[in-house]
Structure 1
Amino acid sequence: MARQELARYLRERREGLRPGDVGLPADRRRRTPGLRREEVADLAHMSVDYYARLEQARGPRPSPRILDALTGALRLTLVERTHLFQLAGADPTPPPGPVRRVRPHVAELLHRIPDTAAIVTDAGYDVIAWNPLADALLGRDLRAEPNLARRRFLGSYRLYEGPSAEEFGRIVVSRLRRAAERYPRDEAVAGLLAELRAGSEEFARIWETNPVHAPGHRKKVLQHPEAGPLRVNCDVLIVPDDDQQVVFLTADAGTPAARALRHLGRTPH
């Protein structure tokens, strides 16, 4: 029964995906919904025969390594990954690392809110998506250094100033502590933490305090190299399935910050 449930789950997930969901070109000649078995096998780096046997409930019990490969190939969320392990009769291992891709509907959301700078950060504080206003507001070097933790503690450009910078430092450390616990096998997270500990006494000091942070509404002073200090509202939307955060930066109507945002949004970058 367990094998059959696993097989059914794999088929349903495969048939529910479109080629564009996994970066494959659309093919109008497809006669069946979803991806082909050979496409999933290729994405998971396994033989087509092995994957086919899993879908036919006649394969061996998959190992955690195979289950992780299927998690990536089928674009499973953290919750769906846990369910896959349970169906396979295996104890869920720590995820290999933070989800570093943005779901299409989340990416589209960034461009639907006027006069709002919006970014998406993964569990390791890499900015993995942003809209044009965020690009103008947060610095055009996002592509050169997309990690906000590294920029906060090691970079020459700080996103916030004064008490806002101190608070953001505690928020960063709190979130990175959770990332270290959740993704102990991820080399990128481990490397980032080692770099921050070695390069910032402030980071090491805050880490020892084990700060606790709950996302919510905050007012911050953001330092822009051209517009100067801007008092903005910071609101966070949690994407729990992917352990990501969508951060929205806005300004109260009629304030200098609102005018600055409007100007930045209209300026070519």
Structure 2
Amino acid sequence: MDDLANFLRTRRSRVDPATVGIPVDRRRRVAGLRREEIAHLSGVSADYYVRLEQGRATQPSEQVLDALARVLALDETERDHLHRLAHQPRRRTTAPAARLRPELLRVLDLVGETPALIMNHRLDVLAGNRLAHLLYGTPIPGLNTARHLFLEEADRGLYADWETCTLDAVGHLRLAAGKYPDDPRLAALIGELAMGSDRFRRLWARADVRARTHGRKTYRHPLVGPLELHQENFALPDESGLELIVLAATPGTPSADGLRLLAGLEDDRSVRYARPRRWISAETSEDV
């Protein structure tokens, strides 16, 4: 229950006492609400809430969790995460076994005018079309977008909104860790990022969670210049945990022109290997 305890502590520290009717004066030294205040507002005993934050209380009821979520002003993603952390099964929660079906890979061939890729819960890119390869300028098999953000591109400038992208990546990995606490490859990735990036360590300690759905992504491509793209995430309708991600430009904009220019480039101007029609991770022959 340590993850639950940490999540409660970090959410409690961000609640402004004034928003829940608690007066604040200069003598107050606590960031956010006190434990006793959370307990009172949630309708639980102070002793029980203290045990929750210390990881000593197990299986809190749905009613208690809903009350805590209300007082902590959790959004829908955070509320689901709270319930998931509180009710983690005692048996091992294994990561989903994901295989790339040929029919799914053919979808990438059909998306020819904009970058498209398939990604798992660890942010591993398992397959991508030619424009995705040219956008990132690195081999798609083996690309992990969190590693790319924090360890490879932090100072190189591909991501114009780098700080926002890092918030999204950490928030997603927090959600994934809550869903699959026994995934050793996810744990290894988190450890690698924590060892290699001060920013990742700081963001991870905040315990923020974010669901990836859609939004603007801006890139500073070294060959075609700025690209302002709209990202749509399509969760596959199975238990694989995979997502199809499409990055599109608004028609008639400089970014649309930039994508056309990018599509016309020879691959060896940005990378050092021959161009196949589609890039697929070697992991797709195994469980990913």
Q: Check whether TM > 0.5.
A: yes
* Deviation (angstroms), 1:125: 0.6
* Deviation (angstroms), 1:93: 4.0
The answer to whether the 8 A contact 1:98-1:122 is kept is: no
Deviations 1:112-131 (A, max 9, x none): 12411101111111100100
Q: Give the corresponding residue for 1:230.
A: 227
The answer to whether the 8 A contact 1:232-1:251 is kept is: yes
TM-score, structure 2 as length reference: 0.56
Q: Give the corresponding residue for 1:106.
A: 104
> CA separation of 1:99/1:266 partners in 2, compared to 1, >3 Å: closer, same or farther?
farther
| AA of the residue aligned to 2:129 | N
Q: Output aligned runs, 1:78-157, within 5 Å.
A: 93-143=91-141, 145-156=142-153, 157=156
The answer to whether the 8 A contact 1:152-1:158 is kept is: no
- Corresponding residue to 2:186 among 183, 186, 189: 189
* RMSD (Å), alpha carbons: 2.2
% identity of equivalent residues: 34
Q: Distance in 2 between matches of 1:174 and 1:99?
A: 22
Q: Distance in 2 between matches of 1:109 and 1:195?
A: 33
Q: Give the corresponding residue for 2:214.
A: 217
Q: Give the corresponding residue for 1:263.
A: 261
Deviations 1:165-205 (A, max 9, x none): 22211111111112222223322111111111111111111
The answer to whether the 8 A contact 1:197-1:203 is kept is: yes
Q: Distance in 2 between matches of 1:247 and 1:200?
A: 26
Comparing 124-133 with 219-228, which one deviates more in the overlay?
A: 219-228
User: Is 1:203 equivalent to 2:200 in the alignment?
Assistant: yes
Q: Distance in 1 between matches of 2:104 and 2:113?
A: 18
Q: Distance in 2 between matches of 1:257 and 1:228?
A: 9
How many aligned positions are there? 176
Comparing 113-122 with 174-183, which one deviates more in the overlay?
A: 174-183
- Structure 2: runs of 5+ lacking an equivalent: 1-88, 268-288
Q: Distance in 1 between matches of 2:216 and 2:234?
A: 15
Q: Distance in 1 between matches of 2:159 and 2:96?
A: 25
TM-score, structure 1 as length reference: 0.59
Q: Distance in 2 between matches of 1:232 and 1:260?
A: 10
| AA of the residue aligned to 1:232 | L
Q: Distance in 2 between matches of 1:158 and 1:126?
A: 21
Q: Give the corresponding residue for 2:249.
A: 251
* Deviation (angstroms), 1:267: 2.6
* Deviation (angstroms), 1:158: 5.4
Q: Distance in 1 between matches of 2:99 and 2:107?
A: 15
Q: Distance in 2 between matches of 1:98 and 1:201?
A: 30
| AA of the residue aligned to 1:121 | M
> CA separation of 1:217/1:182 partners in 2, compared to 1, >3 Å: closer, same or farther?
closer
